[in-house]
Amino acid sequence: MMTTRNGELTHSNRNMRKWQMDNVTLIRLVSGVLALSIFLLPLYVLPTILAWKKTHRTPILLLNLLLGWTLLGWIGALVWALNDTPANPSQFGAAAFCSKCGKDTPALAQFCSSCGHPLMQNAMSATSANRA
C-alpha cells in the first residue's frame, strides 16, 4: 500500500479499496446468482421442455435458444410449443362417442364420462389388447 508522508492513501489505492468486498458479501453474491440460475434456467427453457415430444421440437428449440432472451421470442416459442401437434398422434387415440347420451368421451375410456353407459368399442379393443 502506498501512502504519502502524512499517512493518506494514494488515489489508485483508494479506488482499489472501494471495490474490495469481504468474504461474506462475496459468498452472498455467488449464492444469489446460483439460486437465480437454478430457478430461472428451467423457466427459460420451458417452451423446449413442453415441445420435447411434439412435431416441431427442433425449430422450437432453436427459436427458444436464439430469440428466447427477448420476451417476444420466448412467448412465441411457448405458444408454438403449446399449439403444436404431438409427434405420434396415435398415442392419444380417438375420442369415443356415447350412443346413449351423444357426447364425446376421452380416448380409451370404457364408460361414458357423462352418463356412465358402457362404451362397447373401447371395451372390446381393451380386451383384445389384453389377450395379445
pLDDT in tens, 65-120: 999 999 999 999 999 999 988 876 555 566 677 888 888 777 777 888 788 888 77
Q: Left if phi > 0, otherwise alpha if psi is -120 to 50, otherwise beta: which for 17? A: alpha
Q: Are residues 76 and 122 in the same domain?
A: no
Question: What's the pLDDT tens digit per position in 2-28?
Answer: 555 555 555 566 666 666 778 888 899
In a domain, 46, yes or no: yes
CA-closest candidate to residue 46, choices 15, 74, 86: 74
Kindly state whether residues 46 and 79 are assigned to the same domain: yes
Share of the chain above pLDDT 70, in %: 70
Do 100 and 69 have their domain in common? no
Asked whether the beta carbons of 53 and 60 are under 8 A apart, the reply is no
Residue 101's domain spans which residues?
A: 93-131
Half-sphere exposure of 8 (CA within 13 A, CB side): 4
One domain for residues 78 and 41:
yes
Global pTM exceeds 0.85 = no
Angle, vertex CA 118, rays to CA 116 and CA 121, nearest 5: 140
